[in-house]
Chains A and B, each alone.
Chain A
Amino acid sequence: MDELEAIKVTFFQECEELLADLEGGLLAMQDGNDDGDTVNAVFRAVHSIKGGAGAFGLEPLVRFAHVFETLLDALRSNEIPGTPDLTALLLRASDVLADHVSAARGLGVVDMDASAAMAAELKIATDPNAAPAPAAAAPAEEAPAPAPAYVDAAAPIVIGAPQSDIGDGLDDDDLGFDFQPMTITLDAQAADAAVLDGNVWTVSIRPKSDLYRKANETALLLRELSRLGPIQATLDDSAMPALEFLDPEAAYVTWSVRVETDQGEEAIREVFEFVDGDCDLEIVRGEAPVADVLATLLDVAAPAPEPVVEAAAPEMTFEAPVVEPVAEAPVEAPAPVVEAAAPAPAPVSAPAPAATPVAANAPAAAKPAQIDVPGPGQSVIRVDPERIDRLIDLVGELVINQAMLAQRVGEYGIAPSSNLAMGLDELEQLTREIQDSVMAIRAQPVKSVFQRMPRLVREVANMTGKQARLVMDGENTEVDKTVIERLADPITHMLRNAIDHGLESPEERKAAGKNPEGVVRLAALHRSGRIVIEVQDDGKGINRERVHSIAVKKGLISPDLTLTDEEIDNLIFLPGFSTADKISDVSGRGVGMDVVKRSVQALGGRISITSRPGLGSTFTLSLPLTLAVLDGMVVDVAGETLVIPLACIVESLRPKAEEIRPLGPVGSVLAVRDSFVPLIDVGLTLNYRDRSPPPTEGVVLLVEGEDGSRAALVADAIHGQRQVVIKSLEQNYQQVEGVAAATILGDGRVALILDVDAVINLRRRGPPPPSDPTLIAAE
């Protein structure tokens, strides 16, 4: 059953994709962008969800999907017209369907009342004449449910064979399926011997050419009949024309089969289920006048039978020997039939031959990489993410190793123009390319995050009474998996904010001469090695006066400070700015934009806002493409090598003595242009040394923390910028305050990656920090 569980996992993955397709298609319809096939794709998505759900017996999901599908089917066959209202209904239905999928997955519960109400709405939309009474809707929803029991649902393919266990049944059959059943006898008397009245049937089969056109086969029908009991088959080829008049595609023969079975007429009819209408079938109880048939049969000219077979089934050459003996050697006749029939049960009696790689792989497929549908055209490989992570780790090691090698060679003072040095350069180039390529494997389109957003927008719009349309761009922009997982929260927040605070109410918009429906644009793009996410609304823009007054009221800035428009806009990111007075339930759940900013900065990202009054605002979020490597500045502190994330560093400088001002008993600040920034000796903060050397002897790195506060970190020397592979310290050692992670440098030494925020906070906990508001506003 493990395999089934694995398929179930696949099913839910697929559901995610299908739900995304569904929503994407519906949104395209909403925007009037459907290309005719959209409604089909939308239908297929729901249909496939239902199909898979049926296989796993997920009843509520199947039932709802069925009602949904029925409406979509009516829509795609133009039985009902597509209207904006209908599309809106379908979108809401897709949300309910998504809830059903989540519930089936064990993530959350479905509001069954809401589901029933939606199902009722869908039914009314499908057939406006249907009883609209909601009370009637619930039972009606039950009605079309495909039976959960496999047996019932699959009934049409049951042929009434007594075997309940497939293995046993077919094994027995293998043995029992011998000369006896298919005997084509010329001796009418022989049949009399074992006749049990009532259990003998005569089946006459007259195939039409359509039967063969659909690749059905008389011999197989006879074989199926023989599973019900012993049979005797007689061929009547009296209708067979002479060879020169023979149409090879036509059917000329009639079979008369005597079946001895206690399973009744129904079981016999079921054998012919697939050929219903493609042959004249007559089933009568009792013996048939075989002799009559036989008479005509024997009158037939000898050469005829062979062409018969070829005419009937050109591809099935094995039938030739079956028929030929009718005229010539009846006793031998059955043997070839048995041979022809034997392969059918074979796969069952030998359940695990593992003869092909495909079959051999299948059971073990859950763990190793799966190759999914290796088509000649486009092919997709599904790989266990662990394998890729391992590969990325290894490439990280390779990068380190290459750097070590380069350093060692450098120590020998080899000329840069030497073959060795040039070879090393090439190696470095290649290593970098391999690293990029490997990272690209793990890159995923941001679609997986974006596709959750339309629903969010609908919900937030409903809740706030706004009309909002979401436009998405660049869904296929790729970014490392590690980053993607952490995009959802900031995007969610920015969208909520855009609708709740950015967009005006429909009335206000109308009054302002705008379309009552606001547009929120969510876009992803690559820009200079980073991924940029933009959330833009066409709302009222930031009310700068209000923002300024709030910031003053909360003591975040001094009242007499003159700020540029941009500076005022960015005040909303200040910790403590967003409160209940500004942030409603929807936007924040009490969380302000400062939290968003902090979480973005924790990823090495930045967030900013631009706004134009009356025209709207744009939030721009930029993040590194991966969290597996980091661009850092390598510095020396008290003899230790440290890496400071480049994303935090604003600039580096050598301080002059006159720029340094003491502050309090131990602290000091550095004058950077118009503001003062606290000086922090990294060596002191991390307890590498007891007292700081004069800052003028070192280098100062001006850094910006997550909350926008700045600090001047003092280091002894700078070694330069380097891309380093991030190694978790928590996993390999333990968490160390002030240290974010570690890396291995070219010389093989472990270097710690500085957690800039933690360092700033450590310092704050010591002597009180200077709380000069200009430090914050200087941004």
Chain B
Amino acid sequence: MTRTVLTVDDSRTMRDMLRMALAGAGFNVVEAVDGEHGLEVLSAHRPDVIITDINMPKLDGFGFIEAVRVDDDYRAIPILVLTTESDPSKKQRAREAGATGWIVKPFNPEKLVEAIRRVAA
């Protein structure tokens, strides 16, 4: 079964990087450009794992995670947040919002896939 990963990031570069790494590891990738868009894509594709950026227009990563976590249909989906450096306060806020784990940018494909494995059934 191919798993679907939803990547939410306003940076096209980052989305492309994620896609390359994930598609290369056999994941099906769906993308969203911000939190609001992420929620729309979420209902259309029901991903197995979500990877989201924090700084985004419209709805940021924190808001997006919170919105996913209050939805009974989606709250069990693991969410990994992308953080640029291991900023403890940002990571903590993301966790409080309901993030399952995190990936530190810049990531390499191995680390990315490993992080997904750690949270995905």
**Does A pair with B?**
yes
Greatest chain A CB density within 10 A among B76, B102, B117 is at B117
A213 within 8 A of B: yes
Point out the residue from B3, B23, B95, B115 that lies within 8 Å of A214, measured CB to CB.
B95
Point out the residue from B19, B30, B69, B84 that lies within 8 Å of A51, measured CB to CB.
B84
Query: A157 and B10: CB pair below 8 A?
Result: no
A583 within 8 A of B: no
Query: What is the minimal beta-carbon distance from B56 to any residue of chain A, in angstroms?
Result: 7
Point out the residue from A219, A350, A352 that lies within 8 Å of B121, measured CB to CB.
A219
Contacts of A43 in B (CB 8 A): 55
Query: A51 and B11: CB pair below 8 A?
Result: yes
| Distance between Cα atoms of A500 and B117 in the complex (Å) | 62
Query: A220 and B118: CB pair below 8 A?
Result: yes
Query: What is the minimal beta-carbon distance from A319 to any residue of chain B, in angstroms?
Result: 9
Greatest chain B CB density within 10 A among A44, A215, A344, A372 is at A215
A359 within 8 A of B: yes
Contacts of B13 in A (CB 8 A): 7, 10-11, 14, 48, 51-52, 55
Query: A41 and B118: CB pair below 8 A?
Result: no
Contact with A along B57-92 (1 / 0, CB 8 A): 100000000000100000111110000111000000
Query: A10 and B12: CB pair below 8 A?
Result: yes
Contacts of A338 in B (CB 8 A): none
Place the interface of chain B in its size category: 35 or more
Query: What is the minimal beta-carbon distance from B77 to any residue of chain A, in angstroms?
Result: 6
Greatest chain B CB density within 10 A among A43, A170, A347 is at A347
A residues lining the B interface (CB < 8 Å): 3-4, 6-7, 10-11, 13-14, 37, 40-41, 43-44, 47-48, 50-52, 54-55, 57, 146, 150, 153-159, 161, 166, 170, 213-217, 219-220, 224, 273-274, 277, 313-316, 318, 340-341, 343-348, 350-353, 355-356, 358-359, 362-363, 372-373, 375-377
Chain A residue nearest in CB terms to B19: A362
B residues lining the A interface (CB < 8 Å): 1-3, 10-17, 19-20, 23-33, 37, 40-41, 44, 55-57, 69, 75-79, 84-86, 95, 98-111, 113-115, 117-121
| Given A55-B105, A346-B1, A376-B40: A146 touches B111 (CB 8 Å cut-off) | no
Query: A215 and B75: CB pair below 8 A?
Result: yes
Chain A residues touching B, majority SS: helix
| Distance between Cα atoms of A24 and B111 in the complex (Å) | 36
- Further contacts, 9 of them, CB under 8 A, given A43-B55, A54-B106, A154-B108: A13-B12, A150-B108, A156-B86, A158-B111, A215-B77, A277-B95, A346-B1, A359-B2, A362-B29
| Given A55-B17, A215-B77: A375 touches B26 (CB 8 Å cut-off) | no
| Given A156-B86, A376-B40: A343 touches B104 (CB 8 Å cut-off) | no
| Distance between Cα atoms of A40 and B120 in the complex (Å) | 32
Contacts of A353 in B (CB 8 A): 2, 26
Query: B31 and A274: CB pair below 8 A?
Result: no
Contacts of B113 in A (CB 8 A): 166, 347-348
| Distance between Cα atoms of A344 and B110 in the complex (Å) | 14
Point out the residue from A51, A159, A375 that lies within 8 Å of B14, measured CB to CB.
A51
Query: B121 and A355: CB pair below 8 A?
Result: no
| Given A315-B76, A359-B2: A344 touches B85 (CB 8 Å cut-off) | no
Contacts of B28 in A (CB 8 A): 355-356, 358-359
Chain B residue nearest in CB terms to A217: B121
| Distance between Cα atoms of A183 and B109 in the complex (Å) | 31
| Distance between Cα atoms of A727 and B117 in the complex (Å) | 57
Contacts of A216 in B (CB 8 A): 78, 100-101, 119
Point out the residue from A154, A156, A375 that lies within 8 Å of B106, measured CB to CB.
A154
The 6 A-B pairs with the shortest beta carbon distances in the complex, nearest first, are A315-B76, A347-B26, A274-B101, A52-B13, A11-B13, A362-B23
Chain A residue nearest in CB terms to B111: A154
Query: B121 and A375: CB pair below 8 A?
Result: no
Point out the residue from A48, A215, A277 that lies within 8 Å of B98, measured CB to CB.
A215
Chain B residue nearest in CB terms to A276: B95
Query: A363 and B100: CB pair below 8 A?
Result: no
Contacts of B105 in A (CB 8 A): 51, 54-55, 153
